[in-house]
């Protein structure tokens, strides 16, 4: 009956309201097809209805529903009991005893199917449960079970206040006992561990203790929120835990248990409360997790990474080998080019035309009895042969030495051509001729080419110019002649089988 004098009836098909005279009945639409398990006033005198679909509290104009989001993990509420002494309302559910203070629902004793509740004359709370008779004296909770003569799977209970006697109903039996007698049998009970939530990688989730918690990502951080409510002297109860069946670890008197980098695969975390003074311990509560293995830790992932590494290693090896081969090829081509230049110089020096022309020139000078020119020609010829042979022994020579050699060669050619040839040699004064090195005999083949194919075919003679300058750390050498030209030289070369 509510404060207005109306009566409320709960049925398996809904909720019915009757006026004080029982003349008018109203079916409450909000409860259609809901199983009504309990109708009562809570400690705030608000009409409260326990159903198979949560807890409903009546306001002036509407009904407030409380469910899982509000802390009611099991929404099957079997009974509602107002406790004015403790200023709360107790909720008996299919998965534990809960306490409601008007704002928050808290778990008081988890893991029990609670079927009935009452308060005795001492204001002790008694609860019939699936594991026996639970009582709370305001300090701690105790459980009376078969060892105390109390059966399991209790369906309801009743209390005779005058005789301080309880009657409890179980399957096919009713048990009667004196409250005074059974209270002398009460043993200190270990707290029942309750885990309302866990935080995984910074995100809060509900935790399952009746099945495996299958996760979708690896665990960097895991925090279990531990609760063991409504037990006296909570400071003496110490939390212990163990991971995957290993040795127990003492966590202390704490409500938070933190883990970092949990292993992959199936993980079990066992929790136990212990009273080390009285040597009492609770039944272990185990939470199971299935943590996915990252793809790079799977066999396929490892095989893929190995294949990728092999491919990269093969590719890098290929590039390295190609680079080495390219360097070898460049060195080979450089050596080949140098050898060709050296052979060309030697061929030029020993060329029948060159030797014949040199000897003919000497013969002409001798015939003319031109002793001075003959000796000068022979001296330059000998020096040219000696210096060229010396330069052939070295790959790099100072620019100064290379220019001395090319000037000697030009002077020799001037003598041989009877002054039909002259030359110009211009060098940038900023160039240090003694420190800068060039490939030996690098200029002579190009100068020879200018003389033989450009100047000598002309009847009037000509000039060869050698110009050397340095631009951006590079040596630029230009060889210029005013001979017959490249196209004319090609034509004459094609017509003359004896051309050089």
The tokens for 473 are 């750390």
Report if residue 335 sits inside a domain.
no
Report if residue 313 sits inside a domain.
no
Show which of 127, 162, 183 is a domain's final residue: 183
Domain co-membership, 44 together with 113: yes
So what's the pLDDT on residue 350?
46
So what's the pLDDT on residue 468?
95
**Among the listed residues 93, 100, 5, 18, the one whose alpha carbon sits nearest the alpha carbon of residue 57:** 100
Domain co-membership, 250 together with 177: no
Domain co-membership, 130 together with 239: no
CA 71, chain centre distance (Å): 36
Report if residue 317 sits inside a domain.
no
Instruction: Specify the DSSP element, H or E, that contains 349.
Output: helix 299-350
Q: How far apart are CA 37 and CA 11, in angstroms?
A: 8
User: Any residues with CB less than 8 A from the CB of 141 and at least 6 apart, and which?
Assistant: 108, 109, 134, 135, 189, 192, 230, 231
Q: What is the CATH number of the domain that holds 214?
A: 2.60.40.10
Burial of 267 (0-12, 13-18, 19+ CB in 10 A): buried
Domain co-membership, 362 together with 439: yes
Domain co-membership, 150 together with 102: yes
Q: What is the CATH number of the domain that holds 371?
A: 3.30.565
Report if residue 2 sits inside a domain.
no
Domain co-membership, 210 together with 170: no
So what's the pLDDT on residue 500?
46
Show which of 272, 293, 314 is a domain's final residue: 293
First to last CA, the chain: 133
Report if residue 280 sits inside a domain.
yes
Buried b (16+ CB within 10 A) or exposed e, 410-445: bbbbbbbbeebbebeeebeeeeeeeeebbbbbbbbe
Summary count for the chain: helices (H), strands (E)? 7, 33
Residues shown for the chain: 500
Domain co-membership, 394 together with 468: yes
Q: How far apart are CA 328 and CA 460, in angstroms?
A: 48
Domain co-membership, 204 together with 265: yes
- Packing angle, helices 352-367 and 299-350, rounded to 10: 20
Show which of 126, 149, 183 is a domain's final residue: 183
Residue reference for tokens 């340095």: 470
Report if residue 325 sits inside a domain.
no
Pseudo-torsion of CA 257, 260, 261, 266, nearest 10°?
-10
Domain co-membership, 28 together with 177: yes
Report if residue 68 sits inside a domain.
yes
Domain co-membership, 416 together with 375: yes
Domain co-membership, 18 together with 155: yes
Task: Give the count of domains, the chain.
Answer: 3
**Enclosing domain of residue 135:** 7-183
Buried b (16+ CB within 10 A) or exposed e, 447-470: bbbbbbbbbbbeeebbebebebee
Domain co-membership, 107 together with 167: yes
Pair 329, 335: CB distance under 8 Å: no
Q: What is the CATH number of the domain that holds 88?
A: 2.130.10.10
Residue reference for tokens 């000509």: 462
User: Any residues with CB less than 8 A from the CB of 110 and at least 6 apart, and which?
Assistant: 95, 96, 192, 193, 194
Q: How would you write the pLDDT of the chain (500 residues) with one tens digit per residue? A: 988 899 999 999 999 999 999 999 999 999 999 999 999 999 999 999 999 999 999 988 899 999 998 989 889 999 999 999 999 999 999 989 999 999 988 888 888 899 999 999 999 999 999 989 998 988 778 888 887 888 889 999 999 999 999 999 998 889 998 988 888 876 666 667 878 789 999 898 888 887 899 988 888 899 998 876 555 455 667 889 999 999 999 988 877 899 998 888 899 999 998 877 767 787 888 999 998 888 777 788 888 889 999 999 999 999 999 999 999 988 888 887 777 766 565 555 545 555 666 677 777 777 877 777 778 778 877 887 787 777 767 778 899 998 998 898 888 888 777 778 899 999 999 999 999 998 887 888 888 888 888 888 888 889 999 999 999 889 999 999 998 887 777 777 766 655 44
Q: Give CA separation, 460 vs 229, 368, 407, 481, in Å.
A: 122, 23, 22, 13
Q: Going edge to edge, which strands form the sheet with 114-119?
A: 114-119, 125-129, 132-136, 141-144
Burial of 349 (0-12, 13-18, 19+ CB in 10 A): middle
Report if residue 500 sits inside a domain.
no
């Amino acid at each position: 009956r509510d404060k207005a004098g109306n009566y409320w009836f709960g049925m398996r098909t809904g909720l019915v309201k009757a006026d004080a005279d029982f003349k008018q009945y109203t079916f409450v639409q909000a409860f259609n097809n809901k199983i009504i398990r309990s109708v009562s006033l809570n400690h705030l005198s608000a009409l409260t209805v326990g159903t198979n679909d949560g807890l409903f509290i009546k306001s002036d104009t509407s009904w407030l529903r409380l469910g899982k989001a509000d802390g009611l993990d099991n929404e099957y509420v079997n009974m509602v009991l107002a406790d004015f002494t403790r200023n709360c309302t107790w909720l008996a559910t299919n998965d534990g005893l809960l306490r409601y203070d008007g704002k928050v629902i808290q778990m008081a004793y988890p893991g029990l199917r609670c079927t009935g509740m009452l308060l005795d004359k001492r204001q002790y709370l008694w609860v019939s449960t699936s594991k026996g008779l639970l009582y709370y004296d305001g300090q701690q909770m105790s459980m009376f079970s078969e060892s105390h003569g109390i059966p399991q799977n209790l369906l309801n209970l009743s209390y005779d206040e005058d005789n301080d006697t309880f009657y409890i109903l179980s399957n096919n039996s009713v048990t009667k006992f004196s409250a005074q007698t059974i209270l002398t049998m009460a043993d200190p009970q270990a707290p029942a561990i309750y885990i309302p939530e866990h935080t995984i990688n910074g995100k809060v989730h509900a935790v399952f203790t009746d099945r495996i918690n299958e996760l979708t990502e690896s665990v960097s951080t895991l925090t279990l929120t531990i609760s063991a409510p409504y037990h006296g002297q909570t400071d003496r109860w110490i939390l212990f835990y163990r991971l995957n069946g290993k040795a127990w670890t003492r966590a202390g008197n704490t409500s938070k248990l933190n883990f970092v980098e949990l292993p992959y695969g199936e993980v079990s975390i066992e929790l136990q409360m212990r009273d080390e003074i009285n040597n009492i311990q609770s039944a272990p509560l185990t939470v199971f997790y299935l943590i996915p293995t990252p793809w790079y830790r799977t066999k396929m992932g490892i095989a893929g990474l190995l294949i990728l590494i092999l491919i990269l290693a093969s590719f890098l090896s290929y590039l390295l080998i190609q680079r080495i081969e390219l360097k070898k090829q460049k060195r080979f081509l450089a050596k080949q080019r140098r050898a060709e230049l050296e052979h060309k110089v030697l061929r030029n020096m020993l060329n029948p035309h060159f030797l014949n022309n040199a000897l003919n020139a000497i013969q002409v000078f001798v015939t003319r009895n031109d002793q001075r020119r003959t000796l000068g020609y022979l001296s330059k010829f000998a020096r040219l042969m000696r210096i060229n042979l010396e330069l052939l022994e070295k790959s790099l020579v100072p620019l100064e030495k290379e220019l001395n050699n090319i000037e000697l060669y030009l002077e020799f050619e001037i003598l041989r051509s009877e002054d039909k040839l002259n030359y110009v040699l211009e060098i940038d004064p900023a160039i240090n001729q003694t420190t800068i090195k060039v490939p030996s005999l690098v200029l002579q083949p190009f100068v020879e080419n200018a003389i033989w194919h450009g100047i000598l075919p002309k009847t009037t003679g000509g000039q060869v110019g050698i110009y050397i300058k340095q631009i951006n750390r590079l040596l630029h050498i230009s060889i210029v002649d005013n001979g017959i030209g490249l196209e004319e030289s090609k034509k004459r070369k094609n017509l003359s089988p004896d051309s050089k």
